[in-house]
Chains A and B, each alone.
Chain A
Amino acid sequence: MSIATMVRKGGRDFLLVPPGVLLAMFWLLACLSLVIVLPLVSHLDVTAIDLRARLSPPIGFGGDWAHPLGTDDLGRDVLARLVASLRTSLAIALGAVIISATIGTLIGILAAHLRGWVDQVVVAAVDAQVSVPFIIISLTLTAIFGNNLYLFIFILGMFGWERYTRLARAMTMASRGRGYVLAMSTLGFSWPRIYLRHVLPNIASTLLVTATITFPEVILLETSLSFLGLGIQPPMTSLGNMLGFGRSYLLTGWWIAVAPGLAIFLCALSVSIIGDWARSVIGRI
């Protein structure tokens, strides 16, 4: 014990943000501001067709500034579509993470508080969710209920709920067992007060890190499904369906696929890097 604490004392340099993490943060901020600012200064028309410039390559490969990232086979501007897709994908992923984190955490705390058969059911559900690949569940639901946006958001909003449930349940139980929660309950505090004012703030950092780690996975799930043609449908555009569409033009217009492919990769990578760093700072999970 004493050695471990001493070693931790020695490793104080974690407060310095490593350059890779800074770079990742910078990229995400750039994406966010691009997504928010660009539509304000120039109107993004994802369906505008420039028939004189079909399959025009990006700058540096023979293209011009009219279409910095080139155009697709219908003459639609790749940059405009990329920004719109990025916006859709990020918004959906963010929304999905918030939904699943909220629901998952509430279920976890409830299970830990109520115990008994409620807890048993929750644990069984978590186990079942873990043992079946999520993409299969989403495919099945899509097959049964047909493809629509609300179902799609519901599916993504379910993704990862079991992680928050499991963590929130375990940590709530741990704090219930011996620590301040027990103390407060003997002091006459009400349960909602204990959970919302004391337990939640104390486990929030861990849950937040989990959310950060889940975020790239949600991006990948959304883009995978959209790529397979089972997610976002035209005329809406997301990074996944843009890539799925560009796949047919690998021979004649590689940039149509490369632009969203790189964007997906870099966004997922940035969030992963930040998540890993956050986890190492918190030092648990």
Chain B
Amino acid sequence: MTLALRILRGFLSLWLIVTLVFVALRATGDPITAIFDPDNTPKAALEAYRQQWGYTGTVFDQYLVYISNILHGEFGFSSMSNRDAYSVVMERLPATLQLVGCSALLMMAIGIPVGAVAALNSGGRLDRFVMTFSTVGFALPNFVLGLALILLFSVNLRLLPSNGIGTAAHLIMPVLTIGISKAAIFTRFVRSAILDALKLTCVTSARARGVSEWQIFWHHVIPNAMLPLVTITPLLVGAMVAASAVVETVFGWPGVGRLIVESVAQRDLAVVQMIVMMIALVMIVTNLLVDLAYSKLDPRTALAPAH
């Protein structure tokens, strides 16, 4: 498949999701009555909203208006904060990016070296310790770990603030929570990717030629281990997004994750659909980038430059 085709497919997925959201919103009935109490709002005001957000005409007309609104960045009106949804979400975005970015760095800082060391000592005591840590980390839900950290550092030791944003100290516990729990999964992936690469015949054959272990690791093991690792990136991005919803709620972090939880509880559909589309866009772009990276790393794929 060519690159253009992949991008086209990305757009197609995006369009599909936008349409699905539209259908789901319409399936629940008149969206205006879902937002406003029809008994306590003047008819004229309701009508004005209908006009403003394109809820007039046939369903198809509404659909066209809907698409055009989204292309213009108008996702509707947040009933919770009385502003347009776009600005509500955008002002929360930096906090989430900061949290997720730091967590991703922590995850890789733990996962790559620990996973590599475990793979190189496969079966040894260190490996078993790492695997145990990984299993425990996997079973420890974000909110339990977060609350445990609060109980330890905020309630007992009174070292760190349990809630809010602002200083570096506020960042420590949420980043630890996401970083550690995702590192538990990532370490396992790194370990198995390297372990699989170590078992390749081409590694054995390089060893038989007397290539040094250092060169074997960097030139034969790592390039092959990168392939499965690249493909799990979307999975990790998704896991980060999911984790931020929970962890931001636990630590009162004013990001998009907490916003979506609040919006769902308040049924603020405009904000929810904006966030959903944003996440969809992120996932689609991630997948596209992964495809690109994979074709750069693996000459066997169809996207790779021809020789």
> B280 and A134: CB pair below 8 A?
no
Q: Does B306 contact A (CB under 8 A)?
A: no
A-B contact pairs, 13 of them (CB 8 A): A131-B287, A133-B238, A133-B242, A133-B283, A136-B279, A140-B273, A224-B246, A243-B143, A250-B147, A250-B151, A254-B151, A269-B135, A272-B135
Q: How far is the CB of A252 from chain B (nearest CB, A)?
A: 10
Contact B144 A276 (CB under 8 A): no
Contact between chains at A243 and B25 (CB < 8 Å)? no
Contact between chains at A276 and B135 (CB < 8 Å): yes
Instruction: Check A146 for interface membership: any CB of B closer than 8 A.
Output: yes
Supposing A136-B242, A140-B272, A276-B135 touch, asked if A230 and B142 sit within 8 A by C-beta, the answer is no
List chain B residues, Cβ under 8 A from A273.
135
Residues on A facing B (Cβ under 8 Å): 128, 130-136, 139-146, 216, 220, 223-224, 227-230, 243-244, 247, 250-251, 254, 257-258, 261, 264-265, 268-269, 272-273, 276
Alpha-carbon distance A251/B151, docked complex (angstroms): 8
B164 to chain A, nearest CB (A): 16
Identify which of residues 55-103 in chain B touch chain A, using a CB-to-CB cut-off of 8 Å.
Answer: none
A269–B136 CB distance below 8 A: yes
Question: When chains A and B are docked, how far (Å) is the Cα of A128 from the Cα of B148?
Answer: 35
B148 to A, closest residue via Cβ: A261
B155 engages A254 (CB within 8 Å): yes
Contacts of A257 in B (CB 8 A): 147, 151
Report the number of A-B residue pairs with Cβ-Cβ less than 8 Å: 116
The stretch of B110-118, B168-176, B262-270, B294-302 in contact with A is: B262-270
**A224 lies within 8 A of B279 (CB):** no
Bound CA–CA A133/B236 (angstroms): 10
CB of B187 closer than 8 Å to a CB of A:
no
CB contacts (< 8 Å) of B35 on chain A: these are none
Give which listed residue, B144, B268, B272, contacts A261 with CB less than 8 A.
Answer: B144
For B28, the closest partner residue in chain A by CB is A144
Complex-state Cα separation, A131 to B231, whole angstroms: 11
Dominant secondary structure at the B interface: helix
In the complex, the answer to whether A269 meets B139 with C-beta atoms within 8 Å is: yes
**Chain A: minimal CB distance from B9 (Å):** 10
Task: Tell me, in angstroms, the Cα distance from A143 to B79 when the chains sit together.
Answer: 13
Whether A243 contacts B144 by the Cβ 8 Å rule is yes
List, in ascending order, chain B residues with CB within 8 A of A128's CB. 13, 16
**Nearest residue in A to B136 (C-beta to C-beta)?**
A269
- Bound complex: CA A98 to CA B241 (Å): 27
Please state if A143 and B143 are interface contacts (CB–CB under 8 Å): no
**Contact status A140-B276, CB under 8 Å:** yes
Question: Chain A residues near B197 (CB, 8 Å)?
Answer: none
Verify B155–A251 contact, CB threshold 8 A. yes
A134 and B242 contact, Cβ closer than 8 Å, known pairs A216-B139, A227-B143, A251-B155: yes
Q: How far is the CA of A265 from the CA of B268 in the complex (A)?
A: 32
- Bound CA span A276–B131, Å: 11
Checking A130, A141, A224 against B142 with a beta-carbon cut-off of 8 angstroms, the contacting residue is A224
CB neighbours of B263 from chain A (8 A):
143
Q: How far is the CA of A272 from the CA of B268 in the complex (A)?
A: 37
Provided the pairs A131-B238, A139-B272 are in contact, do residues A230 and B261 lie with their beta carbons within 8 angstroms?
yes
Residue of chain B at shortest CB distance from A137: B276
Q: B261 contacts A144, CB within 8 Å?
A: no
Q: A272 touching B139 by the CB < 8 A rule?
A: yes
Per the bound structure, the CA–CA distance linking A142 and B261 in Å amounts to 10
Chain A CB within 8 A of B150 CB: yes
B229 interfacial by beta-carbon distance below 8 Å: no
Q: Does B260 contact A (CB under 8 A)?
A: yes
Chain A's closest residue to B131 (CB) is: A276
Q: Assuming A144-B25, A220-B141, is B147 touching A261 (CB within 8 A)?
A: yes
B138 at the interface (CB under 8 A from A): yes
Contact of A132 among B25, B141, B269, B279 (CB under 8 A): B279
| Complex CA–CA separation, A273 to B135 (angstroms) | 7
In the complex, what distance in Å separates the CA atom of A254 from the CA atom of B242?
A: 26
B13, B28, B141, B260, most chain A CB atoms within 10 A: B141
Q: What 16 new A-B contacts, CB under 8 Å, besides A130-B235, A132-B283, A272-B138?
A: A132-B279, A136-B260, A139-B264, A144-B25, A144-B27, A220-B141, A224-B142, A228-B246, A243-B147, A247-B147, A247-B250, A261-B148, A264-B141, A268-B138, A269-B140, A276-B135
Q: Does B177 contact A (CB under 8 A)?
A: no
Name which residue of chain B comes closest to A133, CB basis.
Answer: B238
Q: How far is the CA of A117 from the CA of B280 in the complex (A)?
A: 25
Given A224-B246, A228-B245, residue A264 in contact with residue B155 (CB < 8 A): no
- Check if A229 sits within 8 Å of B265, measured CB to CB: yes
* Residue ID in chain A nearest B264 by CB atoms: A143
Give complex CA distance A229, B245 in Å.
12
